[in-house]
Amino acid sequence: MSDRKMRLGASVRGLGYHPTGWLDPDVPADGAINFNFYLDLAKTLESAFFDIFFLADHSAFFSPNIPEGALGRSDGGAEFEPITLLAALSAVTSNIGLVATVSSTFHQPFQLARQLGSVDHLSGGRMGWNVVTSSRDAEARNFGEEKILEKGLRYQRAKEMLDVCFGLWNSWEDDAFPRDRERGVFFEPSKMHPINHKGAFFRVDGPLSQPRSPQGRPVIFQAGASEAGLDFAASKAEVIYALQSDFDSARAAYASMKERVKKFGRSPDDIRILPGLMPVVGETRADAEAWKRQSQKDLDPIVGLQRLARHFGDLSKYDIDGPFPDEVKSISGISRSDLYLEQARREGWSIRQLYENAVISDQHLEVVGSPSDIADVMEKWFTEGAADGFNILPAKSPRDIHAFVELVVPELQRRGLYRTEYESTTLRGNLGLPDVPSPWV
């Protein structure tokens, strides 16, 4: 066990999770659509041997104008499409994994398998796919539907989507392309396997128009928290993003997921569980706390209320600093909203405290402190059965990425918890996950 190392990813869409990031004069306010901004992040993370450069995504701009006047007061609405951005970054990086969030609800498997497989080839085996099913009507309305597909059906579609993509990624044997000039044989027809899939959602003949990719297929990521999401993750995912903010429940969820994968004929070693972690780090604990206080002070209450609007509707009629109103209910239908509500009631938070404490870090573990404070928490979670590593969520990017890399990474290395060089040039290799052998050998 002593040589077990922590895996680290960073979720780096835009200017971070705190809505005030763009107000910092040292940050390019257009970061989300500025290639050099991402280039700097990718290089920084690669210099610290991160496993994963991760991009979240949605298929719409849906920031609500709730309360009235909130729209346009935080960054958003102008960002890259993740697969193309990661393809570009593949040319200027060499080890870090490149993971795109892509919806299984709004794509067709043939083209998606091509694009993701193509980036796996372009990057020499560093592609990952975070499979999301998308939950918003605003997204459905960009794809010809009034309402988002019902959750059960979304997961059925996601499952079939992965079955088709896996089939396509395996549609050529590893040695199907001898490219033999002497014999005049470019490929061996006997080593080609069309899939001829006919299912409830898709009919796809195949084969894919590219050889099997360096990793066999991209590494599959999943973050669902509902029962359907957990089963989907346990059956298909190799990296699981966990939404946990306290140690005991994180440890229970970790054990439960490692157990759950067995139900699908998989080994607990076939997955990596990475809880999200928002580190707010300073040279000293006091520095970190001051930085956090300043960020909260900079936050326009209308933006905080807007963040709550998706979960609870317009809360502007209530006293922002009074007790959390009893009549407020979740309106989103997602599990996260209920977690917020429970948390607010349990902690006795006001509306302001809820958005300051929870909604900005998005229900994930937040640690404010010195490098060793943060390393202590990470070490505990990692060594005591709650995590295989972490998905680092910068409150403000790139500030919190640079701070983590400069201050926390050396501390983790000093403790022998984290690598000092890459083990591999593929994402699966660095994560220490088993290879995906061709089914045709």
User: By rule CB under 8 A, what count of residues binds another protein?
Assistant: 70
The helix (run of H) or strand (run of E) holding residue 10 is strand 7-11
Please, is 256 exposed, middle or buried when counting C-beta atoms within 10 Å of its C-beta (0-12, 13-18, 19+)? exposed
Strands (E) located in 106-243: 127-132, 197-198, 203-204, 219-222, 239-242
Cis omega (within 30 of 0) for bond into 323: no
Secondary structure, 3-state, 360-376: CCCCCEEEEECHHHHHH
Smaller CB separation from another protein, 44 or 118: 118
Residue 51 DSSP symbol: S
Please, is 266 exposed, middle or buried when counting C-beta atoms within 10 Å of its C-beta (0-12, 13-18, 19+)? middle
Asked if 89 interacts with another protein (CB under 8 A), we say: yes
Site for another protein in 383-412 (CB under 8 A): none
CB of 202 to another protein, least distance (A): 6
CA distances from 306 to 88, 310, 369 (A): 33, 7, 28
Rounded Cα distance between 32 and 370, Å, is 28
Site for another protein in 186-245 (CB under 8 A): 186-189, 202-207, 209-211
Cβ partners under 8 Å of residue 196, min gap 6: 205, 206
Asked if 270 interacts with another protein (CB under 8 A), we say: no
Smaller CB separation from another protein, 202 or 422: 202
Choice from 184, 297, 348, 441 touching another protein (CB under 8 A): 184
CA distances from 352 to 101, 329, 338, 348, 366 (A): 30, 17, 17, 11, 17
Q: CA triplet 27, 71, 289: central angle to 5 degrees?
A: 45
Helix and strand numbers (H, E) in the chain are 15, 11
Smaller CB separation from another protein, 1 or 200: 200
Asked if 87 interacts with another protein (CB under 8 A), we say: yes
CB of 135 to another protein, least distance (A): 16
CB of 159 to another protein, least distance (A): 17
Q: Which stretch binds another protein (CB under 8 A): 5-13, 101-109, 280-288, 334-342?
A: 101-109
Asked if 35 interacts with another protein (CB under 8 A), we say: yes
- Torsion from C-alpha of 404, 409, 415, 416, nearest 10 degrees: 150
Asked if 300 interacts with another protein (CB under 8 A), we say: yes
Smaller CB separation from another protein, 90 or 244: 90
Give buried/exposed letters for 310-340 (b at 16+ CB in 10 A, else e).
Answer: bbbbebbebeeeeebeeebebebeeebbebb
Q: Is 242 helix (H, G, I), strand (E, B) or coil?
A: strand
CB of 87 to another protein, least distance (A): 4
Choice from 40, 121, 380, 410 touching another protein (CB under 8 A): 121
Rounded Cα distance between 340 and 88, Å, is 37
Asked if 134 interacts with another protein (CB under 8 A), we say: no
Choice from 2, 26, 150, 181 touching another protein (CB under 8 A): 181
Q: Which stretch binds another protein (CB under 8 A): 185-193, 222-230, 335-343, 433-441?
A: 185-193
Site for another protein in 52-71 (CB under 8 A): 58-61, 65, 71
Choice from 4, 47, 94, 185 touching another protein (CB under 8 A): 185
CB of 81 to another protein, least distance (A): 4
Rounded Cα distance between 260 and 407, Å, is 36
Asked if 294 interacts with another protein (CB under 8 A), we say: no
Asked if 141 interacts with another protein (CB under 8 A), we say: yes
Site for another protein in 158-177 (CB under 8 A): 177
CA nearest neighbour of 279 among 149, 348, 373: 373
- The residues pairing with 102 across neighbouring beta strands, listed in sequence order, are 131
Q: Which stretch binds another protein (CB under 8 A): 44-52, 180-188, 230-238, 376-384?
A: 180-188
CB of 193 to another protein, least distance (A): 12
CB of 134 to another protein, least distance (A): 12
Which parts of this chain interact with another protein (CB under 8 A)? 22-23, 25, 29-30, 33, 35, 39, 58-61, 65, 71-81, 83-85, 87-92, 106-108, 110-111, 114-115, 117-119, 121-122, 124, 138, 141-144, 177, 179, 181, 184-189, 202-207, 209-211, 300
